[in-house]
């Protein structure tokens, strides 16, 4: 399945964003996933957990907004703690 590749792209985007905020620690990333995006949400959640575990991003909460009849696959926001 391709969820691991998607999870990797999310992590990459998180790292790009935290580089713009020196000293801040990411606490939560928000995604929008459409019903028709071809993504298994639980599989994506699992892949992100695996990629984050025991890294400097651990723990990183995941907030997935599921959009019925949508095709979205977006990284919506990142929450940072100072």
Partner 1 sequence: MERVAIEKKVLSENDRIAQQLRARFAERGTLVLNCISSPGSGKTSLLERTLEGFPPETRVAVVTGDIQTDNDARRLARFGFPVRQITTAGACHLDARMVEKSLDGWDLSELDLLLIENVGNLVCPTSYDLGEESKIVILSVTEGDDKPLKYPGAFAKSRLMVLNKIDLLPYVPFDMEAARRNARSINPEIEIIETSCTAGHGLDAWRQWIGARIHEAARKEEPG
Residues in contact with partner 1 by the rule CB under 8 A = 1-2, 6, 9-10, 13, 17, 21, 24, 27, 31, 35-40, 69, 71, 73-82
Strands 25-34 and 73-81: antiparallel
Residue 82 CB, shortest distance to partner 1, in Å, is 7
6 Cβ contact partners less than 8 Å away, ≥ 6 residues apart: 39, 44, 47, 73
In this structure, the number of other CB atoms found within 10 A of the CB of residue 38 comes to 13
Residue 77 CB, shortest distance to partner 1, in Å, is 5
Residue 26 CB, shortest distance to partner 1, in Å, is 9
């Amino acid at each position: 399945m391709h969820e691991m590749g998607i999870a990797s792209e999310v992590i990459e985007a998180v790292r790009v964003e935290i580089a713009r905020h020196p000293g801040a620690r990411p606490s939560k990333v928000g995604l929008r996933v459409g019903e028709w995006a071809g993504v298994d949400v639980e599989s994506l959640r699992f892949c992100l957990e695996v990629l984050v575990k025991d890294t400097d991003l651990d723990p990183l909460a995941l907030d997935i907004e599921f959009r019925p009849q949508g095709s979205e696959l977006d990284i919506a926001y990142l929450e940072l703690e100072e």
